[in-house]
Amino acid sequence: METLRVLVVDDEQGMRLAVARVLSPYTVRIDDTTGHTVRFAVETADSGEAALEMMAASAPDILLLDMKMGGLSGLDVLHEMRARRIDTLTVMITAYATLETAIEATKRGAHDFLPKPFTPEDLRVAVRRVVRHLMVQREAKRLAEEKRQVRFQFISVLGHELKAPLAAVEGYLQILKDGSAGADPAVIARVVDRALVRTEGMRKLIGDLLNMTRIESGQKRRELVATDLREAATAAFETASAAAAARGIRLALQAPDRAPIVADRGELDIILNNLVSNAVKYNRDGGRVDVTLEPGAGGGWAIRVADTGIGLTNEDAQRLFQDFVRIKNEHTRSIAGTGLGLSIVKKLAQLYGGTATVQSEPGVGSTFTVTLQG
Amino acid sequence: MTPDATPFHILLVDDDEDFLFQHRIQLENAGFRVTTASTRAEAEALADQARPDLAILDLMMEQHDDGFILSHHLKRKLPALPVILVTAVTSETGISFTPTTGAERAWVGADAFLSKPIRFEQLKREVDRLLEGKTPGGRG
């Protein structure tokens, strides 16, 4: 159970006591996921000056503030609070809740009003309302902070992912500049090739990054049209065919003659290209890639891409769809990748109300399944 | 170094293909013989047969501390082998993995620590310093 501190500021002692009497035994159940209960510790102040002093020492969670007091008025207290950056949620207690005072108090940051005279139940209702608001505010703050952290981490990892290939390219250029590669044309050619490979890696990373930003911001104009999943799979095969042929990997498609779906064709291409190119990259020489398109309920589809490659441990499979996660081991060391492909696939699948999952056995192969709702 | 003199043999260990290639060609161009390995296990196996005159190890390979452990093992097996540990960690994470205490340094046993990005002249200087007065293939 959580205890919220309530400060009651009123120059009438009877009012302070009454509020304390009502709120001390009162509890509010929070209807959020935590379902926890809140109780109240009531503190009192008999003037605006005293209240400000108390708040300067330690700000309460909720302020019940009388409008009309000798000395500093409720509005003066609000004004001072704003100046001192105390942002405690405030309920104004006022005998004459005219529109003007309401507007003025709201302008100065009051959250709600409690018109005098009020019944214990009026007070409880007002407090319950402000507690709910406080909880919503907290949750929003927590989510914003979480989002900020995720962003920071993303940017920091991205920085590293760009720095590594850049350093490699820089190293190669330096070698060419100072002639330390010697005069062997084969060595020089390999230096240039590697620099180009790393540049291409950077280009792919930036491409993935832009795709991802478009998906996440929701700003990419999606063109949902009647299209064919089979065509997208065939196109992905064509893209991967050279890499597959070079390593004797067979690509096979099992699908109905037509696989109609309403989707953005560009997005389908991204999904299938990522899955098929991964299945080739992480395969063994002479292996197979089997793509199956299966109709699901309500016009949806399941895309299954099975390889005969290095496979994954359960632990690796859990992390695989996260940003920048690449499984680092002796098999994957020399395989290029941005670490964003599967994260993008998953985000796209979610846009279609679907999922992206993997089943795998180390050394035997992996099967990636993406479902798309129709 | 005259062309027919036996060159010093350097064992270069890093899981970064480009680091290996760049430093191999630069070291070879500077007259060294270079053997490369990209994992700790591979390096340990090679060290037994290849008997290098000096080893250059990356700190972070499959495990974050592979370089430390490899250095420790190599030094135990070949106490006279000079070892240079190269690390990129400081600039990437802001955390220094360089052993700071005397005991840690003694355990790792490396003769020099360099942080990535390293300039070749800098590496060459360390290599020359550590090989000074030694003869290729000799254990002195």
Mean pLDDT value across residues A192-211: 91
Rounded distance between C-alpha atoms, residue A347 and residue A261, angstroms: 18
Contact A198/B18, CB-based, under 8 Å?
yes
pLDDT at A53 over 60: yes
Parts of chain A belonging to CATH 3.30.565.10: 223-372
Rounded distance between C-alpha atoms, residue A252 and residue A288, angstroms: 8
pLDDT digits (tens, 9 = 90+) for B23-71: 999 999 999 999 999 888 888 888 888 889 999 998 877 676 788 888 8
Rounded distance between C-alpha atoms, residue B12 and residue B29, angstroms: 15
For helices A13-23 and A120-178, angle between their N-to-C axes, nearest 10 degrees: 70
Q: For position A116, what pLDDT does the model report? A: 84
Task: Tell me which chain A residues have a C-beta less than 8 angstroms from the C-beta of B92.
Answer: 160, 163
Mean pLDDT value across residues B61-83: 83
More confident residue, A31 or A260: A260
Q: Is B104 on the interface with A (CB under 8 A)?
A: no
Q: Is B45 on the interface with A (CB under 8 A)?
A: no
pLDDT digits (tens, 9 = 90+) for A18-30: 999 999 999 998 8
CATH of A2-144, one of 3.40.50.970, 3.40.50.2300, 1.25.40.340, 3.20.20.70: 3.40.50.2300
CA distances from A112 to A56, A97, A115 (A): 22, 11, 10
pLDDT digits (tens, 9 = 90+) for A334-358: 777 888 889 999 999 999 999 999 9
More confident residue, A107 or A98: A107
Residue A168 C-alpha, separation from nearest chain B C-alpha, in angstroms: 6
Rounded distance between C-alpha atoms, residue B50 and residue A102, angstroms: 86
pLDDT at A110 over 90: no
pLDDT digits (tens, 9 = 90+) for B92-134: 444 555 666 667 777 777 888 888 778 888 999 999 999 998 8
User: Domain B9-131 - what CATH class?
Assistant: alpha beta
Rounded distance between C-alpha atoms, residue A316 and residue A331, angstroms: 14
Asked if CATH classification 3.30.565.10 holds for the domain at A223-372, the reply, yes or no, is yes
Q: Is B62 on the interface with A (CB under 8 A)?
A: yes
Name the helix (H) or strand (E) containing A303: strand A301-307
Helices (H) and strands (E) in chain A, counts: 10, 13
Residue B29 C-alpha, separation from nearest chain A C-alpha, in angstroms: 6
Of B21, B26, B39, the CB nearest to A180: B26
Q: For position A96, what pLDDT does the model report? A: 66
Contact B25/A334, CB-based, under 8 Å?
no
pLDDT at A221 over 80: no
Q: For position B89, what pLDDT does the model report? A: 58
Q: For position B140, what pLDDT does the model report? A: 42
Predicted ipTM of the assembly = 0.80
Size of interface A-B (CB pairs under 8 A): 48
Contact B18/A171, CB-based, under 8 Å?
yes
Chain A contacts in chain B segment 71-90 (CB below 8 A): none
Q: For position B60, what pLDDT does the model report? A: 73
Which amino acid is it at A250?
A: R
Find the residue in B nearest to A158 (Cα): B92
Name the helix (H) or strand (E) containing A360: strand A356-361
pLDDT at B91 over 60: no
Q: For position A150, what pLDDT does the model report? A: 83
